[in-house]
Amino acid sequence: MLLSSWSIALLLCGLIVLFLMGLAARSAIRVLLYWDPASDSNRQIRLENEIWLTSTLVEYALGIQIISLIVFVLAADFFSQSIAGAMCATGSLLADSYGVPALVVKIVGVFFYGFWIVLHQLDIHSEKYPLVRKKYLYLLLLIPLLILDLTLEILYITGLKPDIITSCCAVVFGDTTGGGTNLIGGFSHGLSMGLFYGTAGGLLCIGLFLLKRWQRWACVLFSSGWLWFFLLSLTVVTSEFSSYIYAMPFHKCPFCILKPEYHYIGFVLYFALFLGAFFGMSGALVEPLRSVDDLESGVTGYQASAVKSSLFFLTVFVLVSSYHYWRYILIGGEG
């Protein structure tokens, strides 16, 4: 499957990100070795200039990585047309053992790059650049993740074998690959809906409380709540909401909602969920930085806007994902 436009686009994205991050890593090594805020040597001035380059490079890399995540899912959907038994991206991601790990690494990667940008924004907020060493160490740690991402992607693409009709019947009539119905097969409909709306309501209350009075325990609760809600939402969207969007009880798939037949509703849904989860979780992650020299006001400002943004995206996500379900219930359908 290597010689398909989608594979080429994916590999191109991966190589561009690796190139940009490689350049950023080169600066990172120099900063880690020679950074000296007290000095006013030429090298220090050059390094201070390079900080701008690295941040721009990582921002571009993040943007391309987000696009590459979408391209990856759409590519898997495209590959499903040529894999026996696969009907959509679910089938082709399960077609070899690298599909799902590649997707997970990509999603995790987007969060990690995003956190780097938060760190950078906090750092440049202060004139002393107190986080320089930490953030460049973090940047160097991102490189293995990136290489893993690209490796899994290549393994996945090269592992996909399309069936050609001239091959023997035994190969052609291979088993169909599975669907996404067994994700939370153990949960009943009522329980998963209760958990979903309960957690969303809880997050909303804690968020509003945090905006009125900042408490460290509430912040940690809010962020861990978001982590739980993020994973829960991915499964509930797949196993519950998606079939209402498709208007077919047995069609449960997290990827088909990205298709034009369903008005690209999945993009709005996942966009809101990912952004909400990112802002929600990053609030607690920056909490330890409060004690760092000169960062208190920056951290406070960021946390307040992160909580506001996460609540906004939470509302959008819950409204968009529940729309088809509640419309069905309100016009007289049975839950």
Which residues contact another protein by CB under 8 A? 2-9, 12-13, 16, 19-20, 23, 49, 52-53, 56-57, 60, 64, 67-68, 70-71, 74, 77-78, 81-82, 84, 124, 162-165, 169, 172-173, 260, 264
Write down the least CB distance from residue 189 to another protein, Å.
26
Write down the least CB distance from residue 50 to another protein, Å.
8
Write down the least CB distance from residue 33 to another protein, Å.
20
Closer by beta carbon to another protein, 20 or else 219: 20
Closer by beta carbon to another protein, 63 or else 335: 63
214-221 long-range contacts, CB within 8 A, separation 24+:
214/300, 214/303, 216/287, 219/283, 219/284, 219/287, 219/303, 220/284, 220/287
Q: Locate tokens 């391209």: which residue?
A: 71
Write down the least CB distance from residue 142 to another protein, Å.
17
Closer by beta carbon to another protein, 14 or else 114: 14
Write down the least CB distance from residue 68 to another protein, Å.
7
CB 280 within 8 A of CB 203: yes
Closest CA to 95 of 156, 26, 182, 9: 156
3-state secondary structure of 239: helix
Cα gap 322→40, rounded to integer Å? 58
Closer by beta carbon to another protein, 267 or else 326: 267
112: its two tokens: 């990690």
Closer by beta carbon to another protein, 165 or else 331: 165
Closest CA to 333 of 200, 269, 243, 265: 243
Closer by beta carbon to another protein, 45 or else 227: 45
CB 13 within 8 A of CB 71: yes
CB 69 within 8 A of CB 110: yes
Write down the least CB distance from residue 185 to another protein, Å.
23
